Amino acid sequence: METTVDAPVVLLTDPIAPSAVARMAQRANVVVAPNNTPSALIAAAIDADIIVVRTPLPPQIFGHAAKLRGVIRHGAGIDMIPVEVATAHRVAVANVPGANAVSVAEYALGQMMNLAHRLNEADRTLRTQGWAATRALCEKKIEVAGRTLGIVGTGRIGKALAHMAHHGLGMKVTGFHPSMSPISNYIEMLPLEDLFTRADFIVLACPLNASTRGMVNAALITKMKVDAVLINVSRGPVLDEVALIQALSTGQIRGAALDVFDVQPLPAESPLLRMDSVILSSHMAGLTQDTLERIGDKVADQALQLLDGKLPQHLCNVEMRADLQARLQEFA
């Protein structure tokens, strides 16, 4: 990327869509951090006016970036950003909510089908044990249509999944949200324990915060049906991973699909890597060509707003709106 003397600097913790980079490069020098270590990020942020976040930011970064106007999360979840520290340094925090909702919902629905029809097992078995052994798997396959789906977190992702499951497969949809407010006429809101007791498929799609950390514990998993499936597309710490491993190893539940984990990348010694009843992926449910372009576009929109001295469209630390706006005007 060509640099311009005295132009503002947009620091990317990781590469993003080229189209978004091109838009920002018309107004700023766009640079990518050399790596994601805290020391490298802190060093790269010294001259940054804006940081686009795809990896956790060390809290110390804000004390070393005097020019920093805002940090923009490349996605919805802001757990990668120490928001309180950013706010204390009068730095605007923004995100891109909802841009990956369809992709994450499709991923969850696909894994429901995958586990119900034992597709991963069938592929492995056919390659290693042959035709007859693969056909034997059919005895424990089930249909998804008409069964009960429980969605923990009825935000944009949860609503998209509910619509696909109900209108596409005729599933009975139950949901949990702390407010318990009605969402639609086809989503039955339930207390968390009731949802875990009734659902055949449970999808975790809630944000990670103080109230959801460790929320899905051994007591809740014990309430699941023996042929039920658990899918996590939220954040790893929402789920008690040890309790899930225990349930899977004893056959207490049918299986699980996990896109997120307590520790990422997933350690090589994790028992999950050796379990046939679990499908694993690398925090990629919301990452498709379509969503990367949509998210990049919204990131660029908000970066340009910040460079114009305006608050970003999806400001997260809204309680500091007036103070943040005043600081942006100082830069302008």
pLDDT at 3 over 70: no
Q: What is the pLDDT of residue 5?
A: 62
Fold assignment, 9-99+289-331: Rossmann fold (3.40.50)
pLDDT digits (tens, 9 = 90+) for 150-181: 999 999 999 999 999 999 999 999 999 998 88
Terminal Cα distance for the chain, rounded: 24
Q: What is the pLDDT of residue 58?
A: 98
The angle, 0 to 180 degrees and rounded to 10, between the axes of the packed helices 101-116 and 119-128 is 50
pLDDT digits (tens, 9 = 90+) for 116-134: 999 999 999 999 999 999 9
The ranges of the chain annotated as CATH 3.40.50.720 are 9-99+289-331, 101-280
- Rounded percentage of the chain residues whose pLDDT exceeds 90: 95
H or E segment and range at residue 255? strand 255-258
Q: Mean per-residue pLDDT for 135-154?
A: 96
pLDDT at 1 over 60: no
Q: Mean per-residue pLDDT for 193-220?
A: 97
Contacts of 19 (CB under 8 A, 6+ apart): 293, 296, 297
Measured distance CA(74)–CA(44) in Å, rounded: 18
Q: What is the model's pTM? A: 0.89
Q: How many CB atoms lie within 10 A of CB 284?
A: 12
CATH number of this structure's domain 101-280: 3.40.50.720
User: In terms of pLDDT, which residue wins out, 282 or 332?
Assistant: 282
Reported confidence tier of residue 24, pLDDT bands at 50, 70, 90: very high
Average pLDDT taken over every residue of the chain: 96
pLDDT at 2 over 60: no
Measured distance CA(180)–CA(188) in Å, rounded: 10
